[in-house]
Amino acid sequence: MFSGPPVYLMWSSMYNPERQRLKGRADLRRIARLFRPYWWMECQVIAAIFINSLLGLAPPLLTLAIIDKALAHHDQSALTTYVVLMVVSAIGSGLIGVYQGYLNALVGESIIRDLNCALVSHLHRMPLSFFTATKTGEIMNRVSSDVESVDAVVTGTLVSIVTNVITVATTLVTIFLLDLRLALVSVAVVPLMVLPLWPVGRRMYEARKKTRTKKDELQAATQETLSVSGIQLVKSFGRERYEHERFYKITSDLMKLEVNVALVGRWFMMAITAMVVIGPGVIWLWGGLAAIKGDITTGVLVSFVGLLARLYTPVSALAGVQVQIISALAVFERIFDYLDMQEERDSEGAIAIAGIQGRIAFNNVTLQYDETGERKALDDISFVIEPGQVVAFVGPSGAGKSSLINLLPRLYDPSSGDITIDGIDIKHMTRDSLRQHIGIVSQETYLFHDTIAHNLLYARPDATLQEITEACQKANIHEAIQAMPDGYDTIVGERGHKLSGGERQRIAIARVLLKDPEILVLDEATSALDTENEAIIQKALTPLMRGRTCLVVAHRLSTIVNADLINVIAGGRLVESGHHQSLMAQNGLYARLYSTSLQS
Ligand code: ATP
């Protein structure tokens, strides 16, 4: 069972600054681990950046040579050489840039693939309670747009940080070699540039974070109303206008947040631009006076100012490094938060069960969905089902019937008590092997938007065409499928909505027949159908139930009068148990439910 804190608590707890700092460090280590498989490519990227930043020094240095050597000495051949060198260095730098861009994209996309697979596989292993508590749109947003944002971080942010650091380092070495005093003046201006930008970082981070949360909301609203069931609900209640207003409110909030992010960004850029202009101004003045006095040559001054662009632009970008890193961390953090949620884990030493007899025992089973609350969905339930028996569960709505049968494949775990199959506690079995022996035909039949054949093969990918046909014949659906224009290749539509409810259910029955499990769970498989359809489904169910241990939840009590045992559940408790005749003779809840069901 999913035992972590509720989702909303997880999000709000992230705002603790100390936790944030420690988490930030841990996240940096985790991000580094993502790069590990691609370290060789990353080394090449860094080498390319280094070579390119050296080549970038060529134009200002060659300018110096042109002014002080070629022009001053009227040396035409030197002039040609320096110009050729300038062109060659520019072409070389361009070619290296292409290679670097290719490697960058490769690393970025590989990391996205790795994260996407890790995230989706992890989500597949999350307990059902996570999915009932979280909006599908929010999950989708993390899997799609958050993972995509990683690409921008990997190929953009991280590369620009490395590029800037290397550019600053190589430029610093060059200007100090060129002229010590001018270099000192240039460096003295740097703190003026960096300090004002520092506080902007946190504001940027907070703004981006709020934007992402709002995007989750937007995605959830879109997803909910644009699904087949959602749109049916919207239309049947005529709520298009309400949905429009709700959507308008969310998108307007998002718009304001995005404008805020852009505004903070513009302030940031304005400060950077101002500094990039002021810095060279100071050097022109200081260096110009020195050149007039004859302390330095014109060539040194001109190339120095040229080099300053290579110093101040990356320095000002690095002044925002804090913004860049925490914004990048925010992207990874949202993915890591999902990856850190506790997934379903088998207990230590869990055994993979092979063939089973199918003797099921519930021993004093209690279930509380909310562990902190008082309400028990199931309260001290005990019963035994012998192999091959058909046991029905009946009771009023909300009595706990579905909750009870969900415990068998461990979609939820009991809060206390235990369940055994053939005497083995199901907690000591691997979930995979346990679920292999249980087939479920549930209230809601889910089919993938794919062909009928592929939906059937989902139960057993190696099934032959003959096996599929046999299963469909037994499930009373083969002829109906053959009558369809594309037969088994008919696309069933979103969630199978191109088929009738009865057809969907018979396909679901055929799917379980293919799986051929020892234990069968039928959860109100016939409740949503009319009498004629119900008779067809019942006919389909008969071969499915034969020779299996069956747990049947039914509202139409006429269908379970022949069950080997009927358990009557009310308010989460087992209140009556026996055969149809004996229960009728008791004249209790079952007898009342039965007579009501006959009238309906
Ligand atoms: P019905 O015949 O109407 O389908 P049921 O007998 O199958 O009802 P359950 O679905 O087992 O009843 O529900 C039993 C109780 O547990 C109900 O009060 C329900 O609100 C609650 N419940 C069911 N599923 C969950 C869940 N995932 N989280 C929290 N509470 C739940």
Query: In CATH, what number is assigned to the domain containing residue 301?
Result: 1.20.1560.10
Q: Are 120 and 237 in the same domain?
A: yes
Residue in 401, 553, 593 to alter for ligand 1 test, most ligand atoms within 8 A of Cβ? 401
Q: Whose CA is nearest to atom 31 of ligand 1?
A: 369
CB of residue 527 inside a 6 A radius of ligand 1: no
Question: Of 288, 316, 339, which residue constitutes the final position of a domain?
Answer: 339
Burial class (CB in 10 A: 0-12, 13-18, 19+), 433: middle
Q: Whose CA is nearest to atom 10 of ligand 1?
A: 402
Nearest to 324 by CA among 275, 373, 265, 379: 265
CB of residue 436 inside a 6 A radius of ligand 1: no
CA distance 590 to 334: 51
CA distance 537 to 228: 25
Q: Are 335 and 450 in the same domain?
A: no
CA distance 80 to 309: 25
Query: Per-residue pLDDT tens for 327-353?
Result: 777 788 888 888 998 888 888 888 998
Q: What does the pLDDT average to over 295-318? A: 85
**Least confident interval from 202-206, 509-513, 529-533, 572-576:** 529-533
Instruction: Categorize the per-residue pLDDT at 45 as very low, low, confident or very high, splitting at 50, 70 and 90.
Output: very high
CB of residue 229 inside a 6 A radius of ligand 1: no
Q: What does the pLDDT average to over 578-597? A: 87
Is 374 inside a domain boundary?
A: no
Please check whether residue 449 is in contact with residue 457, taking contact to mean a CB–CB distance below 8 angstroms.
no
Partners of 390 in the β-ladder: 550
- pLDDT score recorded for residue 492: 81
* Tokens describing residue 516: 């051929």
Query: Per-residue pLDDT tens for 549-565?
Result: 999 987 777 777 888 99
CB of residue 398 inside a 6 A radius of ligand 1: yes
Residue with tokens 């042109």: 66
352: which DSSP letter? -
Q: Are 329 and 476 in the same domain?
A: no
Is 567 inside a domain boundary?
A: no
The minimum-distance atom of ligand 1 relative to the CA of 406 is 11
Q: Whose CA is nearest to atom 1 of ligand 1?
A: 397
Q: Whose CA is nearest to atom 24 of ligand 1?
A: 403
Query: What crossing angle do the helices spanning 76-124 and 321-340 adopt, rounded to 10°?
Result: 20
Please check whether residue 529 is in contact with residue 501, taking contact to mean a CB–CB distance below 8 angstroms.
yes
Residue in 402, 551, 597 to alter for ligand 1 test, most ligand atoms within 8 A of Cβ? 402
Percent of the chain with pLDDT over 70: 90
Burial class (CB in 10 A: 0-12, 13-18, 19+), 43: exposed
Q: What is the pTM of this model?
A: 0.75
CB of residue 375 inside a 6 A radius of ligand 1: no
Is 177 inside a domain boundary?
A: yes
296: which DSSP letter? S
Is 537 inside a domain boundary?
A: no
CB of residue 376 inside a 6 A radius of ligand 1: no
CA distances to 250, 395, 573, 591, 595 from 588, rounded to whole Å, are 53, 12, 15, 5, 11
CB of residue 401 inside a 6 A radius of ligand 1: yes
Question: Of 501, 516, 531, which residue constitutes the final position of a domain?
Answer: 516
Q: Are 145 and 272 in the same domain?
A: yes
CA distance 128 to 448: 19
For residue 463, the domain's CATH number is 3.40.50.300
Question: Of 516, 534, 549, which residue constitutes the final position of a domain?
Answer: 516
Please check whether residue 392 is in contact with residue 565, taking contact to mean a CB–CB distance below 8 angstroms.
yes
Is 456 inside a domain boundary?
A: yes
Task: HSE, CB side, 13 Å, CA atoms: give it for residue 494.
Answer: 7
Total tally of structural domains belonging to the chain: 2
- pLDDT score recorded for residue 13: 36
Q: Whose CA is nearest to atom 2 of ligand 1?
A: 397
CB of residue 127 inside a 6 A radius of ligand 1: no
CA distance 342 to 213: 22
CB of residue 400 inside a 6 A radius of ligand 1: yes
Domain membership of residue 488 as a residue range: 445-516
